[in-house]
Structure 1
């Protein structure tokens, strides 16, 4: 009897390995890989579109953040400082703060004022879904054709990319 039980477990383990090797689940893919066309930006219920058209040879930096996410807010402010002196990059900064007062305080404290928008629908917004932000707030560098050329760049990486584009 003990010999039959051992044999049963051996067969069970072996069949489990075989079934796992035929697992049809795919590895998750990125929704917006480098080289993809950036989705249209439409803010809020009033459906206010934002243009992703940059001048020839220039870039748009889309920065998504919220005051409750310290890392994204800090990165947004630092990126703003890098691009504020560079005419080749226009930064569009979109906050997912739900309260106007919190958004206004963050913008004032961080010293950002140009092209700063608030998406009050938060995680329910079309932008949040189309830019696949459920895994955290990131940024996208988009070229003059609306194609994503870099993702989640740091201020030093952005400066390096812009320096390479000069040469």
Structure 2
């Protein structure tokens, strides 16, 4: 009888632990999923936010990167060169480098148009970093003319396929 009671408690405790591990609060959800509107974008607490709206039928490509993150920097440079001759896509490239000199050197080395590049010197402490949920890594967002995310983390090839639909 005592053996059965011990096993009953072992099963009860194990079942409780498993049920807690699948509770709704512990399920990871993306803050900015495809189909949601992008948050307003103001860098370094500027009063004038960046204009995220493209002309009708066009897109805005938000590319977040930093010179210390090689993968995000390479993606940003590749996307920048892919969209520079396509009027349907407006690029907004945002770096989270802490120093302007590092940012300027990276933009020059990567051959990116300075007009589309912006610097957020507050880095991970910035509102942009938090509102675009970049704690799990730098991302890019393809946004339609209404400000709705239509794709995330696109490559240059995927962008070309998306635009040729």
TM-score when normalising by structure 1: 0.90
Q: Distance in 2 between matches of 1:150 and 1:122?
A: 24
Q: Distance in 2 between matches of 1:135 and 1:18?
A: 31
Q: Which residue of 2 aligns with 1:14?
A: 11
CA 1:47–1:124: 2 relative to 1, 3 Å = farther
Q: Distance in 1 between matches of 2:82 and 2:5?
A: 65
Alignment of 1:58-77 (within 5 A): 58-77=58-77
Structure with bigger gyration radius: 1
Q: For each residue in 1:124-166, what CA deviation from the matched residue of structure 2 results, as whole angstroms up to 9, or x when unmatched?
A: 11110110000000000000000000000011100100111xx
Q: Distance in 2 between matches of 1:8 and 1:34?
A: 51
SS of the residue aligned with 2:42?
A: strand
Count of matched residue pairs:
161
Taking only aligned residues, the RMSD between alpha carbons, in angstroms, comes to: 1.5
Q: Distance in 2 between matches of 1:110 and 1:93?
A: 12
- 1:49 matched to 2:49? The reply is yes
Residue segments in structure 2 that go unaligned for 5+ positions in a row:
none
Alignment of 1:8-157 (within 5 A): 9-23=6-20, 24-26=23-25, 27-113=27-113, 114-157=115-158
Residue segments in structure 1 that go unaligned for 5+ positions in a row:
none
TM-score when normalising by structure 2: 0.91
